[in-house]
Structure 1
Amino acid sequence: MASFDGKVPIGVPLYYASLAGLKPLVQLLLDKGADINYHDRDYDTALIIASFHGHQGIIELLLDRGADIQPICPRLGSALHASSMRGHRKIVQLLLKKGAHINSCHNRWGTPLQAAIMREEGGVVKQLLEAGADANFQGSVSNCIYQNALQAAVGQRHHEIAQLLFKYGARLAPTGHSVGNPLETAAGKHDLRMVQILLENNAGIRIHDSMFSSALYAAVYEGSVAIAQLLLAKGADANARGRGGGSLLRTAFSSSQDGAEEIFHLLIDSGASLDTLNYEAPLPFAVRNFKDETIKRMIDAGFNVNTPNDRYGTPLHAASYRGNYNMARYLIDKGANVNFWSGEYGSALLAAFCCRHDDILNLLLENGAALNNREGKECIAIQTALICGQSLPLTVLVEKDSESLGCPPKDCTALLTASSLGLQKIVELLVENGANPNGQHSLIDGPLIVSASKGHHGIVRLLLVAGVDINTKGKQYSNALFAALYNGHHAVVELLLDEGADVNAGLLPAGPDYMDFAGERYKLLKSLGVLHSRYDDWHHAIVEKLQYDGFGSVLQMAIYKEHKEIAHVLLERGANPNIQRGWFGNPLQVAAYKEDLSMVQALLGKGADVNTPTKYGNTLQIAIFKGNQTLVGLLLQNGADCNSDWCMGNFQDLAQLHRDGDTVRLLEQRDRPRSYDNAFDNALRIASSLGHEGIVQLLIDHGADVNARTGHGETSLKVASYKGHLAVVQLLLDNGADILSGHHNALEEAISSGHRQIFSLLLEKTPSLARQAHHHRSPGLGPLSAASRHGEQDIIQMLLDKGAEMSIYSQDWPPSNPLYFASSEGHYDTVLLLLSKGADVNLKDGDFGYPLEAAAHNGHQDIVELLLQRGANVDLYDEDDPDDKGGPLQLASSEGHYGITHVLLEQGADVNRRGGVYGSPLHAASSQGDRDIVQLLLNKGADVDSWDKFHGTPLQSACINGYYDVVQLLIEKGANVNAKGEDEDGQALHAAVCWGHQKVVQLLLDNGADITSEHCGMSALQIAKNNDNPTIEELLQERGAT
């Protein structure tokens, strides 16, 4: 049998053996001393888990060996709970015979009777009742699913069990529980049969409880018609108040349940007063959602037919929207105002018009509905007709309402909408009747820009003839030329150019922040009803903004959108090839990004500057990123400077923004070096990183400096070595690249990334480096340390074969101890190899001091055990180093490594040694809230009241972080709740109050904490007041604090 070394309590294997039904193994574990009653927050006792799975033989064995039958564990409760919920009747009988408490209460399952009910074990329910289980037992545990057995049966819809409980004396009474009383619960679950059973057993219909206020309210809220009808027939009060004080009538009226309207009628028929409806302007809502009978009853009861609400308008608006002709006529007969302005459509006429209800439209016109009834605005009928795509009545409407077209220049919605929809005859008609073609709205592009974006050539020409400003600025699109070009309407572009559009106009947006603009624009379009399926400008706005700022000019956009003919026309019309705007910076960089060689040549022919840098680098760098060797050669032939230093921005973000999936995937596959985010300021480094051998050769042939370094000391050779580009490394070496240049040299980069072939190649060039801890020209890790850090045993062996020795490593800065790095990273085999080659097991190095400390901190138990076997000092730490962590035991305790903590203690680690940043091991474990390690340390003799000038006592450390379980354990083990250090030091109570841990404060007070003691002249009560914590303040005052 495997031995237990302290990593896992021996009670846990007993738990698993009992769970699996392995009786011989259970017997063996008990013979070996396993704790028969072991349990914790994760494990029940062996008896409980065996009872749950029905292993009767093991249960009998455990009981014979003295297992405690009564413990209640967090997961399954007691053994009786566990067997009851699984229906193991023989085991239930056995446990009862052995004295199991039949009414024991668990904080989730309640009593065993409740557990059996919730798991639908009817046979066990009857067995428990016959054995004396209290059918009315109601525990004090507030978070139990159900408060008593009857509540559980109702909640689980177990009709037969409910009847059985009544047979054994179950009583109906308010519970005060969150799920309400049984009748409420049954009504809320649409369980008609259960409601009948409860009523047959004298359930109180008017009992109010916590969830629904009453059973009738539950039925109304859930839309249960049959139950509501039954309860009303049994005398339920139709005028009772529901949850929150609202009436039942209002609940039914505003409900979306299927039976809501029928229940609404039931309540009225049962005497509910319509005065209790208490709903703002309910009639429009009813017209939209209810049957005509309901509406007429409400009108007959005195509801005003002209009372509007903000959403639906008046009842007539609602009927017009719904297309309910009979109701619209009925409302008019009852005095409805046909010209009342309200709601989302404004008037009933517009609601009928937009929803295409011609019969209601005619009805309203016959009864005096006005076409234009909104003062200070254009003809609403024209505007709405345009939005809805209607065209037949427009000529008549325009002629009738032409006077309304003399609107202010800022408001030209009708002309704009007609321009967007391409209704050229309507545009012509509107212009002839005085509509202003230069009219602008604060949030919508003007008619010219909108028509240009849609490619409506005829309307664009018509507007130009009418005198519209061809270069007017827009809101969504910068100008008409941009709008036409972006959407690929070449004929419109040519028309605008012929009429003198500015080819160099800037495209970057001006004015308010775009997102604020977009939000306001959306609200406007919605209020105007423009968000119609045929009006898709909003969709374009969202899509376009993702690319908007990338185009500094129409020439850049034409190149990006691959409108080559237009791009050439723009160049011929004087477009500036060196304009510097937008993400791409200039047109040449756009062409390079798109790898358009002919356009690059055309731009160069027009004088484009090949070396102009932008935020994303220069044109040569972009060409290299795209991996286009021909393009790189063309740029170099035209004077591109291959040695210019310019920091490259996040090119991958640029590719993602412009939906360039191929480039994004390429860059993801060639993941940039971890430390080289700012290294792309040189063409050769970019090409080396991406492994473009041909481009690297091309750059070298044109004079690229192979040893150029960034401000961080990065070189092309280092980048290529890290990325594993062997051919590029060879090419750079052949052209004089310096291996040792940089903070971390190329050899170290090859090691860290595991590229053995590159490492071998580099080592052949500098064999002496293998025998050095680090080189004076390259102060990073030496080769052996780097290989140890990454667990590269083949490389370590290669270095050892080249003459590397462990004796060259010392405590000199920078850190260079291979054993430290291998231990820290958890490379067991590497540690073993280094020890076999003479590595000093007690040599200090690195952030955590010694190899043993590094392994303990990072949780590498196997390495900890190995180092101890090889002579590591279990208590070694540097007392003179203010940053020392205090030793292996403190580090393991602070990080929650139970197994390592146990191993160190078994090997003689001083459990009470203080030092370093963590204090004592008990301080470290207490401050991290690790109860298991705290228990282990205390069992091994840790001083429960040890004091440290930085941490106080372990109890104070636990109180600061609110670790209730640890605080409780320390107090149980004798911790002095009033202990303090020097004169001004506080006590545990001050720490808990200061950090607002109410439960901990309560625990300390219950265990004698001095409520009058002061910290820095302040009492605990004063601290609570200063921290604005009224709950703790009240608690302290209840205990006598003043």
Structure 2
Amino acid sequence: MSRGSFVFTSMALRSLELDKDMLERHKYKAQIATHHFSSFMLKKEALDSTQRRSTITRRPAVCQDVVIHNALYTGDVEALKRFFPRGSMANLVIEPQGGEMRWVAQGRGLWSLTYEQELTTPLHITAGRGFADCLSLLLHRGANVDLAPGGHTALHEACESCQPECAKLLLIHGANANAVSEDGLMPLHVCTSPESLGCAKYLLQYGATINSCTLDEDDAPLHVAARNGLQDHVELYLRHGASVDNKNNEGLTPLNAACAHPQEMKDFGRYLKVCQMLLDAGADVRTKDQDRHTPLHMACKNANADVVDLLLAKGACVNIMNYGGEAPMHNILKVVCFKVSHHPERIVRALLNNGSIRFWPGALPMVLKHCSESPHTIEVLLNAYSHLKVTDTWVESVPEDAYKEHKDFFESIFSLAMTPRSLQHLARCKLRSFMEGRVHKVVPKLDLPTFIKDYLLLECRGYVH
């Protein structure tokens, strides 16, 4: 047994076999990527075919020279001119020194600790860091523009790092705008931030396929842009003919993807604009993924009230059930305790005004328990019932801290154990029942004072009566 190695137990050997299977699957995926790459290969007519063939046939040299590495990583163009004078060839593969340590299988149950190193090229290094002058020098010295020793091209690197000038240089010199990485991604698929818009424009200008899909997830560029809330990218892709209702492997359209992606409050505006553009382009508001989740289900789960209002205005159905038997109302009530600052009562009110189903009254104590941090949500929900059977279970369901913080509100609920609902409330329930799911359309048109309209639409008052 050599130093730095050890013998595994039988359990560990089983783990090693599983790891071997994973490596084989990875190799198979790389073979598919290579096939996909060749099927999408687009050649530039302006490129001298003779020069291209001579470049490809030259086998790149492996460079371990630290001085050259430093010049590349620091963007020292003068040093690179000395290392690669006119007439020299800059077609190199960089083998970095050092790296992260990992255990590598050596066979017969032996593993050894070695450095994990990802091969790269001078083009990758300079393109990813935005060193356009260095990149131009290397390209004019014959560097292979599509070389991908680490599994992705320099164009992928430039787009992922949001370096539009470097991406343009690579494309001008014949980089394949549809090159497929080892992970099955094309350059458009790695444009995932607002700063990558310039790269996306150049890619489309130089022949990138607008509806090309990733190998693993079957995501089109529009899926990627919508999922990341990139409104400018979405607008760009739609102008170039992106299919608005393409589904990926999970059955998600771009609209589903936008509504399903976890969102911070600061990003709500971006996702609202993305959804608006997709719907204006003809996206199906009632489309379902493989679990029968609609965009409305997902928008409720993210507690994005503006998107919920938009989807309802475009005809989303409030009572479609997913495979778990849950309607959008279930999704919002499950996240109320985590999304209090998102004003979940707005969503509950909108759903009820559009005819959403209500909970079985026997489940209301559970709602009190899980929504106790948002009294407004509880108020809106309880005001959709004409009668409530308040018992000791209701009192016991409210956490002590929440009761102390909102004592007056919860006391107004508990007092109904001895008192019927007010006549005013019963009249509201009767009118709402008469209008059924048309409350949101009919009430604003009534010739009534604003405060009565708000009352009919379940605006919050801070108590239940």
TM-score bin, normalised by smaller chain: 0.5 to 0.7
Normalising by structure 1, we get a TM-score of: 0.26
Residues 37-80 of structure 1 deviation map (CA, whole Å, 9 limit, x = unaligned)? xxxxxxxxxxxxxxxxxxxxxxxxxxxxxxxxxxxxxxxxxxxx
Q: Distance in 1 between matches of 2:333 and 2:399?
A: 22
Q: Which structure is higher in strand share? A: 2
Task: Trace 1:173-322 onto structure 2 (pairs within 5 A).
Answer: none
- 1:463-478 pair list within 5 angstroms: none
TM-score (structure 2 length as normaliser): 0.54
* Aligned mate of 1:625, from 73, 79, 100: 73
| Pairwise CA distance, 1:688 | 0.7
**Structure 1 residue 938, shift from structure 2 partner:** 2.7
Change in CA separation of 1:925 and 1:628 when aligned onto 2, cut-off 3 Å: same
SS in 1 for 2:371: helix
Q: Which residue of structure 2 aligns with residue 821 of structure 1?
A: 258
- CA-to-partner distance for each residue in 1:142-175, whole Å, 9 max, x for gaps? xxxxxxxxxxxxxxxxxxxxxxxxxxxxxxxxxx
Counterpart selection for 2:64 from 590, 611, 623: 611
Q: Quick one: which of 158, 166, 172 aligns to 1:728?
A: 166
Residues 748 and 786 in structure 1, CA contact (< 8 A), matched pair in contact too: yes
Contact 2:93–2:119, Cα closer than 8 Å, also in 1: no
Match of 2:190 in 1: 749
Match of 1:906 among 345, 349, 353: 353
Aligned with residue 295 of structure 2, among 844, 851, 854: 851
1:696 maps to 2:149 = no
2:371 corresponding residue in structure 1? 925
Offset, 1:784: 2.0
Give the C-alpha shift of residue 801 in structure 1.
Answer: 4.1
Are 2:413 and 1:973 equivalent residues in the alignment?
A: yes
Q: Partner of 1:369 in structure 2?
A: none
Please tell me the root mean square deviation across aligned C-alpha atoms, in Å: 4.9
Q: For 1:682 and 1:958, how far apart are their aligned partners in 2? A: 62
Q: Which residue of the other structure, out of 804, 816, 819, is the alignment partner of 2:242?
A: 804
Alignment partner, residue 643 of structure 1: 93
Compared CA separation, residues 776 and 862, structure 1 to 2 (3 A) = closer
Following superposition, the deviation at residue 693 of structure 1 comes to 2.3
Per-residue CA distance 1:730-788 (angstroms, 9 max, x = gap) = 33232444534234431133463354443233124445x32x3x525474641222333
Instruction: Tell me the amino acid that sits aligned with residue 806 of structure 1.
Output: V
Aligned to 1:760: 201
Are the structure 2 counterparts of residues 714 and 933 from structure 1 closer, same or farther at C-alpha, using a change threshold of 3 Å?
farther
Asked if the contact 1:894/1:925 (under 8 Å) is kept, the reply is no
The amino acid of 1:730's aligned partner reads: K
For the 8 Å contact 1:853–1:891, the answer to whether it is kept is: no
Q: Distance in 2 between matches of 1:708 and 1:805?
A: 30
2:308 corresponding residue in structure 1: 864
Give the 3 Å change call, closer, same or farther, for CA 816–908 of structure 1 in structure 2.
Answer: closer
Preserved CA contact (<8 Å) 1:857 1:891: yes
Q: Tell me the CA shift for residue 819 of structure 1.
A: 5.2
Question: What are the equivalent positions in structure 2 for 1:675-686 lying under 5 Å apart?
Answer: 682-686=121-125
Q: Which position in structure 1 is the counterpart of 2:226?
A: 788
Q: Does the 8 Å CA contact 2:365/2:397 hold for their aligned counterparts?
A: no
Aligned residues: 321
Separation of aligned partners in 1, 2:389 and 2:119: 57
Q: Is the 8 A contact 2:329 2:348 kept in 1?
A: no
Paired residue type of 1:706: D
Structure-2 separation of matches of 1:942 and 1:964: 27
CA distance in 2, matches of 1:957, 1:645: 63
Q: Give the secondary structure class of the aligned counterpart of 1:973.
A: helix
| CA–CA distance in structure 2, aligned partners of residues 642 and 963 of structure 1 | 69
1:695 aligned counterpart, secondary structure: helix
Give identity over the alignment, percent.
21
Q: Which position in structure 2 is the counterpart of 1:180? A: none
Counterpart for residue 126 of structure 2: 687
**958-967 or 725-734: bigger deviation:** 958-967
The change in CA–CA distance for 1:957 and 1:833 in structure 2 (over 3 A counts) is same
Counterparts of 1:938 and 1:679 in 2: how far apart (Å)? 59
Task: In structure 2, give the amino acid aligned to 1:630.
Answer: E
Contact 2:368-2:398 at 8 Å conserved across structures = no
Q: Given that residues 823 and 855 in structure 1 are in contact (C-alpha distance below 8 angstroms), is that contact kept between their aligned partners in structure 2?
A: yes
Q: Is the 8 A contact 1:648 1:681 kept in 2?
A: no
Query: Higher relative CO (CA 8 A, sep ≥ 6), structure 1 or 2?
Result: 2
Q: What CA distance in whole angstroms lies between the structure 2 residues aligned with 1:686 and 1:751?
A: 20
Show CA shifts across 1:222-260 (max 9, x none).
Answer: xxxxxxxxxxxxxxxxxxxxxxxxxxxxxxxxxxxxxxx
Query: Which runs of 5 or more residues in structure 2 are unaligned?
Result: 1-62, 101-116, 262-267, 417-465
Cα distance change on mapping 1:856 and 1:919 into 2, 3 Å: farther
2-side partners of 1:782 and 1:855: how far apart?
21
Q: Does residue 935 of the first structure (1) align with residue 373 of the second (2)?
A: no
> Within 5 A, what are the aligned runs for 1:411-450?
none
Query: How far 1:799 moved relative to its partner?
Result: 3.3
Residue 895 of structure 1 aligns with which residue?
339
Residue 708, structure 1, aligned to residue 186, structure 2: no
Is contact 1:944–1:974 with CA below 8 Å preserved after alignment? no
| Cα pair distance change 1:830/1:779, threshold 3 Å | same
Code of the aligned partner of 2:352:
L
| Unaligned segments of structure 1, at least 5 residues | 1-609, 613-617, 651-677, 947-952, 977-1042
User: Secondary structure, in 3 states, of the residue corresponding to 2:308?
Assistant: helix
| One-letter amino acid matched to 1:925 | C
Give the structure 2 partner of residue 464 of structure 1.
Answer: none
* Structure exhibiting the larger radius of gyration computed from Cα positions: 1
Equivalent pair of 2:369/2:399 in contact (CA under 8 Å): no
**AA in 1 matched with 2:250:** W
Q: Distance in 2 between matches of 1:640 and 1:960?
A: 71
Query: Match of 1:717, SS?
Result: helix
Write out aligned runs for 1:517-596 (5 A): none
Distance 1:837 1:641, change over 3 A: closer
- Decide whether aligned partners of structure 1 residues 732 and 921 sit closer, same or farther in structure 2, where only a CA change above 3 A counts: farther
**Cα distance in 1, alignment partners of residues 180 and 407 from structure 2:** 56
